[in-house]
Structure 1
Amino acid sequence: MADTRILSQTMKSYIACVLLILCFIMYVNAECVGQKGTRGPTGAKGVTGDEALDWYRAPRKNWRQCTWTSSDGRDSGTIASCQIYKESSSTALYAAYSGNTRLHNCHGCCGRWYLTFNNAECSNPQVIDGTVYMANYNSADLYRHRVVQGHCYGLSAGWITVSLVVGACSGYGTYDLNTGWNSASRLIVVEETAPMY
């Protein structure tokens, strides 16, 4: 038993010695860096960066959101408009309508919701629209939330009026349409860089 205690105390002394030696080595190595040298020559001035790309600043984005809460029962024509000043002719506009739509009291009928830019539909790359078709539900009164969205290219710089317009689908007549009900509707317009592809 006494031999075990002696061995245990010897082990503790040995470990303490090793730790002291390691600490001393680390201290000596830390001091072996040397004295601080003289300042080096001044380098050439760097190129000024784009302020919008600074890590501490959020990029500036040109956008606009127009909202309303009223319901509009017209079957054709402009429902709402939102103006934005497009800063460059080389950018695209992203536009979106988000809100409720309804097609009512008809069979084999179709309604169309679409976006115009200064009273003309987008042609580059394509129109921005959505249609609702209904059959076999003559008395249905279903309001559904829908999103009509897309990008339009080739628009000149300057004031652009983006409008949500409702009307007949190609090859169909005019039916009982409704836009917006019991929730907010919105038009969102964002000027974005031209596509890379």
Structure 2
Amino acid sequence: MTGITMVSTCRFFSPILVTICVIIAGGVACEEKPKPSEPPRCTSCCGPAPAGIPGIPGTPGSPGRDGHDGAKGEKGDTGSPGTVENPSGPLTHVMKQCAWPVLNDDRTSGIIKVCEFTKRSDRTALRVLWNGDLRFMANTNGVGACSRWYFTFNGEECSDPVPIDSYIYSNSVNNRHRTTSIEGLCFGISAGRVDVEFRLRRCNGYTVDGRPYTGRQSAVRIIVEEIHLAD
């Protein structure tokens, strides 16, 4: 270069222009030119840019897998005792049979047989049945007599609703045996052991005994059944 000594070159950038300075022997020569391609840069004088338009929501992802089971919790407090409606469990059909192959009992009064039964509820009824041979005859023709066969429960006759019994009258000495059933329902019997007794005595209003006979040369039975009736 003629008469020019270049020491250094510097560039000063602004948003629009580029200043180029050349140091020569006599001083510094500067020339401003437009910045070729770099976009303008904001300085501290510019404020924050406005918010852009919200984007479109993305597609929901697939459900994740179940996590691992959590830790076992502590044992809870013990609940209060429940009300016992029926200590023996749900009420079902309960039946018992007491049977004897040959009885041959010729007594005129007293307990013929006893069948022990465990009653489960105060609210149920007992159905009892006697089935077997009975005979009654008078001691003398023309002189009437009567015997009564009946049930008791722990020594007491049924009072709810009525006694369970059978009267047999005769004024003859004819020796007639026949199979007889005596049965009925009794309410008001407490839960627990119940002795179901089949008994015999003279009928009310008669002063002499006849000749009763129970279970001659045949099987006899007492059946006891606890039943729950509809309210």
Instruction: Give the TM-score, by structure 2 length.
Output: 0.56
Which residue of structure 1 lines up, in the alignment, with residue 132 of structure 2?
99
* Partners of 1:195 and 1:119 in 2: CA distance: 28
* Partners of 2:222 and 2:103 in 1: CA distance: 14
Deviation at 1:108, TM superposition (A): 1.1
Determine which structure has more spread, i.e. the larger CA radius of gyration: 2
More divergent stretch after superposition (62-71 vs 146-155) = 62-71
Pair 1:193-2:222 in alignment = no
Deviation at 1:60, TM superposition (A): 3.8
Pair 1:152-2:152 in alignment = no
List aligned pairs for 1:79-94, cutoff 5 A: 79-94=112-127
* Partners of 2:107 and 2:144 in 1: CA distance: 19
* Partners of 2:92 and 2:121 in 1: CA distance: 14
| Superposed CA offset, 1:39-65 (max 9, x none) | xxxxxxxxxxxxxxxxxxxx9421110
Which residue of structure 2 lines up, in the alignment, with residue 67 of structure 1?
99
* Partners of 1:73 and 1:156 in 2: CA distance: 33
Deviation at 1:195, TM superposition (A): 5.4
Corresponding residue SS for 1:120: coil
* Partners of 2:216 and 2:227 in 1: CA distance: 31
With a CA cutoff of 8 Å and minimum separation of 6, indicate the structure with the bigger relative contact order.
1
* Partners of 2:176 and 2:230 in 1: CA distance: 37
* Partners of 1:164 and 1:126 in 2: CA distance: 16
Q: Is the 8 A contact 2:166 2:182 kept in 1?
A: yes
List aligned pairs for 1:21-60, cutoff 5 A: 60=92
Deviation at 1:96, TM superposition (A): 0.8
Q: Is the 8 A contact 1:153 1:194 kept in 2?
A: no
Pair 1:124-2:156 in alignment = no
Deviation at 1:104, TM superposition (A): 2.4
Task: Specify the code of the residue in structure 2 equivalent to 1:91.
Answer: T
* Partners of 1:120 and 1:194 in 2: CA distance: 23
* Partners of 1:79 and 1:100 in 2: CA distance: 13
Which residue of structure 1 lines up, in the alignment, with residue 83 of structure 2?
none
Which residue of structure 1 lines up, in the alignment, with residue 213 of structure 2?
178
Percent identity, aligned pairs only, is 37
Which residue of structure 2 lines up, in the alignment, with residue 48 of structure 1?
none
Gaps of 5+ in 2: 1-90
Q: Is the 8 A contact 1:65 1:186 kept in 2?
A: yes
* Partners of 2:104 and 2:201 in 1: CA distance: 16
Deviation at 1:105, TM superposition (A): 3.6
Task: Specify the code of the residue in structure 1 equivalent to 2:119.
Answer: K
Which structure has the highest helix share of the two? 1
The count of aligned residue pairs is: 136
